[in-house]
Structure 1
Amino acid sequence: MKSQRLLFVVLAAALFAFGPLAKAEVGEVRVAKQLGISYLPLMYMENLGLFEKHAKAQGIAELKVTWSTFTGGGPMNDALISGNLHFASGGVGPFATLWDRTRSSIAVKGVTAMNSMPLYLNTRNPNVKTIKDFTSKDKIALPSVKVSIQAVTLQMAAAQAFGEENYAKLDPLTVSMGHVDGMAALLSGAGEITAHFTSPPYQYQELAQPGVRRVLSSYEVLGGPATFNVVWTTTKFRESNPKIYKAFVAAFEEAVELINKDKRTAAENYLKWSKEKDTVENIFQILSDPEIEYTMTPKNVMKYVDFLHKVGTLKVKPASWKEMFFPEVHHLPGS
């Protein structure tokens, strides 16, 4: 009897000690993306089944991946906080804001950068040559007022043009619109929207139309190439699902490699998957622009972060970009 009780105690202790390690990872992963060519790596993962492929390599035979499309980072962050989303993606602004606000709770961090791309502020107003020429009669469409990466970049540009204390000078002119709706509003010429701060491919499609000109590029504001989009998740999800997390990173890396290896095929795939009306040649030219790069390396993220901290959007300033990202990308030459 004593030996049986001893065996029971030993087994119970073993189950207690190793139970968490043996806990199964989630059977369904929910991933969100947004519209535009900047999300092409996630489109590759979705349409080529790369996430599932690498999950199998990690020993997870049947992983269900559910994809959804959002029009901005704000609603995506809400879904992540509520537990209805596992991987979010969007601009540096929404990501940095959520990193700051969740440091003592769910601890959101970056999984990887997605790309480096310039963002253009375009206008159809012939009187606007620089941002100093905007008046109360102008309305600027962008994904999300004050929080989108376009909104933050506009504030940085305003600080440079009007003085740091006037960083929000142009905020009253901004209107929240998805990329497609913003482009339609700008090109219609009929409504109040006279300018659009957007992203590829929409900014190039706008500039192809008569009467539309570029007022500003985000690279001018940042002083060089900068990360546009980031993927982020919670520390709890990463720690509870190490195999799935590793599979996601591997799948994303393969997607980036496939895009960079054959950009013409990437252009064909983008049009096929997005259902957008454009030509392969136009999309190929966009992908071939030396200013556009699909990369996992965070670039100039700290310039955005420094500004957001300076104006009070972020309460805490990280010591470096690595403090905001999980270790899997720390070996990259980020900034």
Structure 2
Amino acid sequence: MNVRKPPFSRLSTLTTALGLGLSLLAGSLMAPAAAQAEGQLRIAEQFGVVYLLLNVVRDQHLVEKYGQQQGLDIKVDWTQLSGGSAVNDALLAGSVDIAGAGVGPLLTVWDRTYGRQNVKAVASLGNFPYLLVSNNPQVKTIADFTAKDRIAVPAVGVSVQSRYLQYASAKRWGDQDYARLDAYSINLPHPDAAASIASGGTEVTGHFSNPPFQEQELAKPGVHVVLDTYDLLGPNSPTLLFATEKFRNENPKTYHAFMAALAEAADYIQKDKAGAADTYIRVTHATIDRADLLKIIDNPRFEFTINPKNTYPLAEFMYRVGAIKHKPASWQDYFFVDAKPLQGS
């Protein structure tokens, strides 16, 4: 696990940064984001095995490979951020071209840019169960969290983990109380939150994350599952890649090289899990045990694919509770439809 700072040394900084990020988001909606010239691609990713497709694309220089097939030398820049708010801000400010974040942040930015920048998803990163875990023995269900507990998520009220928690809250207490547990949630990057859960002794008693952090936490005594997103929605695609309409239209060769690269990466992971595990360690410099990582990647509930699955229920929920103003008729409303269309839901 990559833990560079104590869990709370960055909390106030993160909170301030996210607050500034909201201002940046509001400002960026007033002016169109600048598009990069054809042959340049800037990608923002976050933490975890769910970004393995991007790790493979990066390690094997697949975007460059498919660009060269079109006679184009593509320069790819990689940025790692934490939280859907930061990712959305970077995309709308024109700092990145392809953003990786949860379906919740995608729906938020799709709704806010509707008829303007027209941000839409380009692909899924796969289907994975996200787990809310706790080290508090009194917490068996989400109803057991109290004001003494804090649930770490990447971005309160925005990240897909936070949206899943709201979805679960609405099922338990009704739509009018969908945001009940937001008051107990805090912004914290996955590596820092995982360290807090593993060590104990902090106010963070819950963490809603993704692989491999959730599996590493569950290996610690006393840490247990409170909520499994597959129990909420069934197998689904929690994390997506998205872009502005302007970038897609003005950079067709770069865009299609990226899509071809993703498809090859997905095929590679499905066929060579051991090689994919080595790639993750090499690219992310993670200190996780290789055997443990391979076991995580080989989980039969995981599917590495660019085709989205079961994203629409969250979209319908977010519209129903007023989190987004535009109601998509189907998943294809918030995905770009290419010549070779995705097969999804």
TM, length-normalised to structure 2: 0.87
> What is the alpha-carbon distance in structure 2 between the residues aligned to residue 276 and residue 67 of structure 1?
17
Instruction: Give the alignment of 1:134-153 within 5 angstroms.
Output: 134-153=145-164
Deviation at 1:329, TM superposition (A): 7.8
Matched residue count: 310
Contact 2:39 2:254 in 1 (8 A): no
Structure 1 residue aligned with 2:269: 259
Instruction: Give the alignment of 1:147-162 within 5 angstroms.
Output: 147-162=158-173
Other structure's SS at 1:227 match: coil
> What is the alpha-carbon distance in structure 1 between the residues aligned to residue 125 and residue 98 of structure 2?
13
Deviation at 1:35, TM superposition (A): 1.0
2:87 is aligned, of 76, 81, 98, to 76
Deviation at 1:122, TM superposition (A): 0.4
Structure 1 residues 98 and 329, CA, compared in 2 at 3 Å: closer, same or farther?
farther
Deviation at 1:168, TM superposition (A): 1.0
Other structure's SS at 2:86 match: helix
User: Are 1:100 and 2:111 an aligned pair?
Assistant: yes
Contact 1:112 1:329 in 2 (8 A): no
User: Are 1:309 and 2:316 an aligned pair?
Assistant: no
Other structure's SS at 1:170 match: helix
Structure 1 residue aligned with 2:54: 42
Amino acid at match of 2:290: V
User: Are 1:64 and 2:69 an aligned pair?
Assistant: no
Contact 1:260 1:294 in 2 (8 A): yes
Structure 2 residue aligned with 1:54: 66
Other structure's SS at 2:338 match: helix
> What is the alpha-carbon distance in structure 2 between the residues aligned to residue 196 and residue 328 of structure 1?
37
Deviation per residue, 1:257-278 (Å, 9 max, x gap): 1111100111122122211122
Structure 1 residue aligned with 2:174: 163
Deviation per residue, 1:224-248 (Å, 9 max, x gap): 1010111100111111111111101
Structure 1 residues 276 and 58, CA, compared in 2 at 3 Å: closer, same or farther?
same
In angstroms, what is the RMSD of aligned CA positions? 1.3
TM, length-normalised to structure 1: 0.90
Other structure's SS at 1:328 match: coil
Deviation at 1:25, TM superposition (A): 4.4
Instruction: Give the alignment of 1:191-230 within 5 angstroms.
Output: 191-222=202-233, 224-230=234-240
Contact 1:122 1:216 in 2 (8 A): yes
Q: Which runs of 5+ in 1 are unaligned?
A: 1-23
Q: Compare the two structures and name the one with the higher helix fraction.
A: 1
> What is the alpha-carbon distance in structure 1 between the residues aligned to residue 166 and residue 81 of structure 2?
24
Deviation per residue, 1:28-75 (Å, 9 max, x gap): 221111111100111111121111111111120x22111110111211
Contact 2:40 2:254 in 1 (8 A): no
Structure 2 residue aligned with 1:321: 331
Identical-pair percentage? 43
Deviation at 1:328, TM superposition (A): 2.4
Contact 2:63 2:257 in 1 (8 A): yes
Bigger radius of gyration: 1
Contact 1:111 1:232 in 2 (8 A): yes
Contact 1:296 1:329 in 2 (8 A): no
Contact 2:53 2:266 in 1 (8 A): yes
